[in-house]
Structure 1
Amino acid sequence: MMFNKLFSFFTVFLIGSSICFAQNANRLDSLVTVLENNKLPKNEKIQLLIKIAHNHTNTDEGMHYAKQSLQMAIEINDLVLQSQAWEEIGTIEQRLGNKNNALDAIFKALHIYDSLNLKDKQAASYMQIGGHHVGEKEYDPAIIYFQKAEKIYSEIEDDLYLAFVLTNLGEAYRFEGQLENATTSLTKALELNKSLKNDVVEGYALGNLGMVYAAESKFTKAKTFLTKAIAITNRLQGAYPTCVYIAALGSVYEKEGDFLLSESKYTEAFAMAKSAGLKEQIRDFSAVLTGFYEKHSDYKKALKFQKVYQQYQDSLVNRENIQKNEQLKADYEVSKRESEISILNITNANQKRWGIALISGFVILLFLAYLLYRGNREIKKSNQVLSDQKELISKREQEKALLLQELNHRVKNNLQMVSSLLNLQSRELTGHPAREAILSGKYRVEALSLVHRKLYQEGVDTKIPLKDYIQELVLGLFEGYNAEFEPNFSIADINIGIDVAIPLALIINEMVINSLKYAYDGIENPLLKIVIMQETKEDLHLQVIDNGIGFTKNDNEKNNSFGLKLITSLIEQLEGTMERINTKGTHWEMKIKLS
């Protein structure tokens, strides 16, 4: 599942004069040669530019031709050609990893198709919107859009594009974990393609089916289908799907224990993505290679690819893209109602003229109407000023909220980088006395990072869910110390502020690490229980209980250790109290203030 979530992609097909994913170099050269003929009508020239953009192996060059076609289509005011150019721009932006730019182009094309009631074109746009949701890991809405496209293509009996959308739908099902539905859709696509004989459908359907089999641990079938898919997409000069399938094949070899062949496939996929300028794939493959080299203790290479991952991850996240994405969706919904608003304005104007005609002979009534009109106008002006002020305040609040979310994201990334560096350094110090201190520092940094990650996920709220947060923190420590038993939780389902969450996390972090390191030597059935209850609106009752060897006399003499000093300081910071109850094992009981 980890590997499948890293590599999200979707197939985008040009709706118009060309349906091929890529053509060979001779075909592309011939298209460019025809383009140089100045005697071509403008509409034919636009269609030719779109074909060249779609078939070009260099995405930057392809984008240049696509934008040129759009400019010419606007000049001759041809809406269909404009929408086709927008579609191609969206396709190329998606291949480059610029998802918000791609969505911008798709909605512009869809707006035109809606106004012209072109069903087949609407279906194509639904496919692209679904693909965008796949790229954003929003698989439920992606499935809905693909099903809309499937319905239209079934109604108009277009088997070729029905095969395309079935391939996309199968991929969305695969990411959602609905492997049975994925197999059904992809198998239908391959059955349709037996008569169509389309290499694009064949390559993508085989590749996705291979990844389904890999997820089901059917490695022999997975390797067979992925190898066939790579041969087809590589022949079609499709660097995007080819590098993903190569990486998927590397994952299969890794699971089978063939690490040399697995490393070869991972690095081949990374090199291909970098050569083609595929930002998201460069980021995803570098993350896989980081984990791969960490497993094999090659920390120099692991750190190298970790830096590449961080560089591309940060470049793909920014506040402007989030705002633009939401604005595009709003603009599309508003534009569909523009014609209705225009009709209402005309009706209102007619009613106003009739009113003036009826009172034109009555001077007194006209005078009163004038007074009412002036009063109404002043009220409108006042309301408008108030509305503008409210809108300005709302925008500023949104901007502050987005800046806070972005700040949490940046802090989380920086803390994760520090944790990764401490982890790498600790592995270099195996057997050295400083290793334990570095590991302790790493877990404290991870506790802080988890707070900011929760805040980033929860959006603009400054509170985080206590239960999920503590469980994720403790389970992470159990995994880090390779504990062979599960902790027991009894935690109140409440939200707490960051000022309480951070010191509380550090307290639990210190206590759990102390138990995992020292408490269970010779204990047959180890137990660790964490109980957090809210006694009042202002008080929180915390207990950390283990059945370990307990505190010896020597341990009691170590009460001045850094960990205990840190816990004591944090308890004081929270205006709380702490007590160690004498039982078998260790039983800490604390009360802290929530505000």
Structure 2
Amino acid sequence: MIAQTKSSDLKAIWENQKNPDSTRFNALAEYYKINNQAKPDSTLIVLEYYYKLAKEKNNTKELFNVANDRGGIYRLKGELDTSMHYYKEAEKFAIKLNNPLLKANITGNIGNVYANQKNYKKALQYFSNSFTIYKKIKDKNGESRMLSSIGNVYLYIQNYDLALAYYQKALTTIKNIDVPPRSIAVIYLNIGWTNYELKKFKEAQLYNEKAIEILEETKDKFFLLNGYTTLARIHRDLNQLKMAAEYADKSLVLSKELNVSEFITISQIIHAQIDLKKGNSDIAKNKGENILKNLDKKANLELKEELYDILYKCYQAENNPKKSLEMFQKYTIYKDSIQLEKNKITLIREVIKKEFDTILQEKDLKIKKEKAELELAQLKKTYGIILGSILLITCIIFYYNRNIKKNRKKREELLQEIEKLKSNDTTNLVVNSNDFILSREKIEVFINKKLNDTDWNVLNILQKEPDISNKELAEKAFMSVDGIGSSLRRMYLYFDIKESKYKKISLIMEAIKASNK
């Protein structure tokens, strides 16, 4: 009742044209999520509305979703050609969108159809391609699904050990990560069916019951149908007929609700087999004859073999040799056909294993090649960075060395000019530069200020040692370094010294020039 109310609310949302497109699409997607397994036929009707809305809005992503969803429902219903049609349509949209996650999803789904069609080589190629994309985008849930799908192929070709190995890999991959409960339940179903094929009934029962516990909660009815049917078979084979009948009833009710003809037939056959085991051959015969009247011509060989086996035994029990022989002959035909299929599968199994090993080797080589190319590109990038750094450092060193030389040359020129000024070259008088004396009076006239004794003392020290450091200057002037700095800053302003380097040299040069005037 709650689900119906919710579905009704969702319908009101998507039909309200005043709602934003995204809100309407989200409501449609939520309806599919809730009802695709519970009400597949109703969901297909809603998907038609979904498609028209997506087409009207020209929304490629939503068109992908609709096609993919349709394909999923038809695959579960066993209508594989229709399913493939929609999956191929979705594949075109995924390519157009260039979305790796969508590509991985649809590639895996197409692989499932090929597997159901017994085209195992194609199925493995698609599963492997999908797995590679999931691994590249680090989608663990997707990786697990593809490992499980590869396991399914090995189950179909009766390589049960490999099937179980892949199912365990699938479980390990999603260990400790948040995944939909259904994902785990489906793997349990697969492990259960594989153990059933190996006639390990207790293990098969355990895993199917674990799956059903989850699926009854999630309401994933198609998968639940598989679980009920397998448990019906297990209890039948264990001669636990009451439990077998209960699960066959559940399977029949659900298969009719979902309108899945194959499972309807399977459930009915199990009921007839139970009656036969109980000794109710007349009831079993009537059920078998009714099944035969409505049997789909496309029904698989195993179903036909089981049905004719029931009828053969029933006619034999009522002492009807003519009918008994007729049923036995048909039973033998289908049994032989199944054996031929098994013989083919034996050959296919070896071919598939070799081909898949080749696929895996090619994938591995491709991955290794891509990894090597990536490492080479990173190595080239690293070498490029190192080479660039070396060139940059070389340029910096060259620049600083050039500046040092340039500054040193300028310093030497300034010092030489000071010596010339002190020697009074401009007057052609040869005077010992060491005897040069600054003129305080002329300097004060030049700067239009009175010099204090501290500044005058500093100038006289500089006159003898123009490139002296501030620390040495402080020691000779019996002042602090801060005091020297303060004195120099004042005189830089007095003499208008703007030179950023060798300011002390420029300062004394100006003082000597003023003294020479």
Amino acid in the other structure paired with 1:53: Y
AA at the equivalent of 1:129: I
CA change 1:425–1:184 in 2 (3 A) is: closer
Per-residue deviation, residues 414-449 of structure 1 (Å, max 9, x unmatched): x999997666333212xxxxx4455455556778x6
Aligned residue runs from structure 1 range 172-571, under 5 A: 172-191=153-172, 192-307=174-289, 309-310=291-292, 313-314=295-296, 424-429=314-319, 435-440=320-325
Tell me whether 1:64 sits opposite 2:45 in the alignment.
Answer: yes
Name the CA distance, whole Å, in 1 between partners of 2:254 and 2:5: 22
Q: Secondary structure at the match of 1:157?
A: coil
In the alignment, what sits opposite 1:113?
94
Deviation at 1:124, TM superposition (A): 1.3
* Contact 2:195/2:203 (8 A) holds in 1: yes
Query: Which of 28, 33, 53 is 1:49 aligned to?
Result: 28
Q: Report the Cα distance in structure 1 between the residues aligned to 2:92 and 2:282, rounded to whole angstroms.
A: 51
**Paired AA for residue 44 in structure 2:** M
Is this contact kept in 2: 1:50–1:88, CA < 8 A? no
TM-score normalised over the length of structure 2: 0.57
- Quickly say closer, same or farther: Cα 1:439–1:227, change in 2 above 3 A: closer
Deviation at 1:156, TM superposition (A): 1.0
CA drift at 1:204: 0.9
Asked if 1 retains the 8 angstrom alpha-carbon contact of 2:308 and 2:330, the reply is yes
Quote the Cα distance in structure 2 between the aligned partners of 1:164 and 1:217: 25
Distance 1:183 1:419 in 2: 31
CA deviations 1:238-281 (Å, max 9, x no partner) are 12111211221222223333222222222221222112222222
Measured in 2, the distance between the counterparts of 1:277 and 1:440 equals 34
**Structure 1 residue 309: Cα displacement:** 4.2
Alpha-carbon shift at residue 29 of structure 1 (Å): 4.9
Q: 1:136 aligns to what?
A: 117
Q: Letter of the aligned partner of 1:227 in structure 2?
A: E
308 and 65 in structure 1: CA distance in 2 versus 1, 3 angstrom threshold = farther
Secondary structure of 1:40 counterpart: coil
Distance 2:318 2:223 in 1: 38
In the TM superposition, what is the alpha-carbon distance from 1:106 to its structure 2 partner? 0.8
Q: Is the 8 A contact 1:171 1:182 kept in 2?
A: yes
Is the partner of 1:195 in helix, strand or coil? coil
The 3 A distance-change label for structure 1 pair 200 and 26 is farther
In 2: Cα distance, 1:446 partner to 1:221 partner? 30
1:286·1:308 contact (CA, 8 Å) conserved in 2?
A: no
Q: Quote how far apart the aligned CAs of 1:154 are.
A: 0.8
One-letter amino acid matched to 2:185: G
Residues of 1 paired with 2:3 and 2:176: CA distance?
23
Question: What secondary structure does 1:194 align onto?
Answer: coil
In the superposition, relative to structure 1, how do residues 125 and 305 fare at CA in structure 2: closer, same or farther (>3 Å)? farther
- Which structure's residues are more often strand, by fraction? 1
Q: Distance in 1 between matches of 2:204 and 2:7?
A: 34
CA contact (8 A) 2:91 2:106 kept: yes
Residue deviations 1:289-330 (CA, integer Å, cap 9, x gap):
34444444433443454356446642757xxxxxxxxxxxxx
Bigger drift between 129-138 and 229-238 goes to: 129-138
Which amino acid in structure 1 is aligned with residue 205 of structure 2? K
- Give the corresponding residue for 2:129: 148
User: In the aligned structure 2, how far is the partner of 1:217 from the partner of 1:450?
Assistant: 22
| Structure 1 counterpart of 2:107, from 126, 129, 143 | 126
Q: 1:152 to 1:76 in 2, by over 3 A?
A: same
Distance 1:31 1:306, change over 3 A: same
Distance 1:257 1:416, change over 3 A: closer
Output the amino acid matched with 2:66. A
What is the alpha-carbon distance in structure 2 between the residues aligned to residue 34 and residue 273 of structure 1?
31
Change (3 A) 1:243 1:162: same
- Unpaired runs of at least 5, structure 1: 1-22, 318-408, 430-434, 458-467, 472-595
Partner of 1:80: 61
CA distance in 1, matches of 2:128, 2:306: 39
Q: Give the letter aligned to residue 229 of structure 1.
A: A
| Superposed displacement of residue 88, structure 1 | 1.0
- Superimposed CA distance per residue, residues 153-187 of structure 1 (whole angstroms, 9 cap, x where no aligned partner): 11111112222323333333222222222222222
Counterpart check, 1:40 vs 2:19: yes
Q: Is the 8 A contact 1:193 1:202 kept in 2?
A: no
Kindly state the Cα deviation for residue 66 of structure 1 after the two structures are TM-superposed: 0.7
1:94-105 pair list within 5 angstroms: 94-105=75-86
Q: CA deviation at 1:65?
A: 1.0
Q: Distance in 1 between matches of 2:177 and 2:152?
A: 22
In the superposition, relative to structure 1, how do residues 418 and 124 fare at CA in structure 2: closer, same or farther (>3 Å)?
Answer: closer
The 1:315–1:111 alpha-carbon spacing in structure 2 relative to 1, beyond 3 Å, is: farther
Read off the aligned partner of 2:316 and give its amino acid letter. S
Contact 1:223/1:252 (CA < 8 Å) preserved in 2? Answer: yes
State the shift of 1:108 in Å: 1.0
Deviation larger for 26-35 or 271-280? 26-35
Return the TM-score normalized by structure 1. 0.50
Measure the CA separation in 1 of the matches of 2:323 and 2:121. Answer: 42
Instruction: Give, in angstroms, the shift of residue 85 of structure 1.
Output: 0.7
Q: CA RMSD in A?
A: 3.7
Question: What is the CA–CA distance in structure 1 between the aligned matches of 2:261 and 2:329, rounded to whole Å?
Answer: 32
